[in-house]
Chains A and B, each alone.
Chain A
Amino acid sequence: MNSLVKSIIVLGGVSLQSVNAFTSISRSNVADISTTSLNVYGTPRKVQIIPSVLPADFGKLGADCKRLEEAGCDRVQFDVMDGNFVPNVTFGPETIRWCRKYTNMPFETQLMVSEKCTDAMLEEFVEVSKGPNGEPGVVIVHVEACTHLHRALGRIRAAGGSPSVALNPHTPAEMIENVLDLVDHVLVMTVNPGFGGQAYIPTMTEKIKKIRKWIVDRDLDVDIEVDGGIKATQETIGECAAAGANCFIAGSGLFAYDDLSEGVKELTDMALEAQGVAVGAK
C-alpha cells in the first residue's frame, strides 16, 4: 500500500472505495466488503475456517472429513507428525490419500516432520494433497526443517502443489522474509506444535502483524494462517484477525461444538468483526 493511501487512512473518514482506487483488489481471496473502517492493515482477505483432523475419530477419518465438508469448512488440515520434529506421531501420506475418496474439500498438509522426511517424501505429500481434479493442495513445510527452504518451496510448486511455510513460536518472522514471493500462504504457529488443546501464545500477535505488513507493502497475494489455541474469543481469533491473519486452524476449538456449522459461523463472524468487516459478508 503506498504512502499516500496510508496517510489518508491516518486522517480517517475515508470510504473504502477511495482506498480501493489505490490498491489492487482483483484477487480471489479479498473479501467482498462494505465498511468505512479498517482494523486490519491493508485490504482484508477472505476469512477461512480450516479444521484440523487431529481431534477426529481416526477409526473413521473419511466420514469425519465428510462431516466437516457438510459443516461448511473451506478446507481441512492434515497434521503430519513424525515423532522426531515434534513429540507425536500422527499419520502419513496414505491416510491423506484415502481421505480424498470421502470428500471434495481442498486439503492442506502441514509437515511437522524432520528434514530427512521432508526431503524424501515431499512430492508424495504434494500428490496426495491435490484436489479431486488434481487442483493444487496446500503443502506446508516448516522453516526449521528446511536447510534449503527456497528449493523446497520450488519443489512443491513444480510438483503441482500450493507452497506454504510454517514458523514455530520462537522463530522470528525474518526467517521467511526472503521467500514470501514463493508462497501462497504463511502459517504462524501460535502454540508449540505436537498436540491439540493448547493455549494461544499472545506474543505471536506481533509476528503476524509484521508478516502482514510485508505482504501488503510488497503487494503480494499471500494468506496468513494461524494454528493453535484458536477459539471464538476476542483474545485468540479476534486478535489474530485484527493483526492480519485470515485463515484460522480450528482443532478442539471447533470440535467442541455439537453442531460444527454453528462453530464455523461463530468463528467466521468473530474474525470478520475483528477485521473490521460487516458481519454477514464473506
Chain B
Amino acid sequence: MYHCCPGQIGPSVLDCDMADLAKEGKRALDAGASYLHLDVMDGHFVPNISFGPYVIECLRKHLPDVFFDCHMMTTHPENWVEKVAKAQGSKPGLLCYTFHYEATEPRGITQKVIDLIKANNMKVGLTLSPDTPVEALLKYGDQIDLALIMTVYPGKGGQSFIEEMMEKVRTIRAAYPDMDIEVDGGVKPKTVDMAAKAGANLIVSGSGVYKAEDMANNISIMQRSVEKYGLEIIATN
C-alpha cells in the first residue's frame, strides 16, 4: 500500500468576506492554496444558509482554472447537480460535486446521485458526517473520486477538530491508496498533523486560513505536514 496523492490545501470560503468572494478566493490561492472548498448549506440539512449554485457559477467566471470542491450540505443534493455543473472550469476535471451520504441513502438514491454527477461531467465526492460509520462510504468506494471525512458536525465554522474521525481516514486510505481523501472541520496548523498521519491529502481549512495572522505561513505549515506524513506512509509501506 502507498499513498502518493498530492497534498493540497483547500480553503473554505465560509470565513472570508462573502461580498468579495472572487478577491478572497484569489488571496488564498496566491498565498499557496491549491483549490477552493465551497460549502453549500440550505438551512435544512444544517442550521445555516451559506450560498447556492449561482454563487458558484459567478465565482467560476472569475476563477476559470481553479479546482472547486462543492460540498453540498443540502437535504436534496440531486436537485442541484445540473445547476452546479454550469460552473465547469476551463478544462475537464475542475469541478467535484461532494454530497452527503445521510441525505441520499435513507431515500435509496445514493447510486442515482452518483450516476447523475457523472452524467454532468463532474467528479464524484461522497462525504460522511461524524456519526456515520466508514462502511457507508466504502460501499461506494469504487465509484467515487473523493472521500470527504467531516471532522466536525457540519453547519458552522470555528468548531473543534474531532480526533476520533482519523480512524475513518486510516480505513479509507488502507482500502484506496490512490483516492483523494479530504478532511473538513477544525483543521489548522495545530491539528493538521493528525489528519496527515492518518492519510488525508486534501485539507479544508476555513478559520485556519482566513482568520490567520499570516495566511501564507498557515497554508505552508499545513501543506508541509501532508507532504511529510504522506511520504512517511510511502516509506513505511
Residue ranges of A at the interface with B (Cβ–Cβ < 8 Å): 57-63, 65, 80-84, 87-95, 98-99, 101-102, 113-114, 116-117, 120-121
Selected interface stretch from B43-51, B111-119, B162-170, B209-217: B43-51
CA distance A102 to B49 in the complex (A): 21
Number of A-B contacts (CB under 8 A): 102
The listed residue (B20, B43, B51, B80) touching A113 by CB distance below 8 A is B43
Cβ distance B22 to chain A, nearest Cβ, rounded Å: 4
| Neighbouring B residues of A98 by C-beta, 8 Å | 17-20
Contact A102 B79 (CB under 8 A): no
Partner of B52, one of A89, A99, A120: A89
Contact of B19 with A65 in the complex, beta carbons under 8 Å: yes
User: How many residues of chain B have a CB within 8 Å of chain A?
Assistant: 31
Measured between beta carbons, the chain B residues less than 8 angstroms from A58 are: 21, 51, 54-55, 58-59
Please pick, from B49, B61, B62, B76, the residue contacting A92 in the complex, using a CB distance under 8 A.
B49
Residues of A within 8 A of B20 (CB): 60-63, 98
Question: Quick check: is B42 within 8 A (CB to CB) of the other chain?
Answer: yes
The reply to whether B22 and A60 form a contact with Cβ atoms under 8 Å apart is yes
Contact for B44 among A61, A63, A84, A101, CB less than 8 A? A84
CA of A184 to CA of B42, assembled, Å: 28
The answer, among A59, A94, A117, for a CB contact under 8 Å with B62, is A59
B74 at interface, CB cutoff 8 A: yes
In the bound complex, CA of A57 to CA of B63 (Å)? 13
Instruction: Tell me the dominant secondary structure on chain A's binding face.
Output: mixed
Would A92 and B44 be within 8 Å (CB), given that A59-B21, A59-B61, A83-B79 are in contact? no
**Contact in complex: A90, B54 (CB < 8 Å):** yes
Query: When the two chains form their complex, are residues A116 and B44 in contact, meaning their CB atoms are under 8 A apart?
Result: yes
Instruction: Name the B residues within 8 Å of A90 (CB-CB).
Output: 51-52, 54-55
> B21-33 CB contact bits vs A (8 Å, 1 = yes)?
1110000000000
Question: In the bound complex, do residue A94 and residue B42 qualify as a contact, i.e. CB atoms below 8 Å apart?
Answer: no
Q: How far is the CA of A14 from the CA of B16 in the complex (A)?
A: 59
Asked if B17 and A83 make an inter-chain contact with CB atoms under 8 angstroms apart, the answer reads: no
Nearest B-chain residue to A62, judged by Cβ:
B19
A91/B52 in contact, CB under 8 A: yes
Q: Are B44 and A82 in contact (CB under 8 A)?
A: yes
* Residue from A87, A89, A94 in contact with B18 in the complex, judged by beta carbons closer than 8 Å: A94
Q: B104 → chain A, closest Cβ, in Å?
A: 15
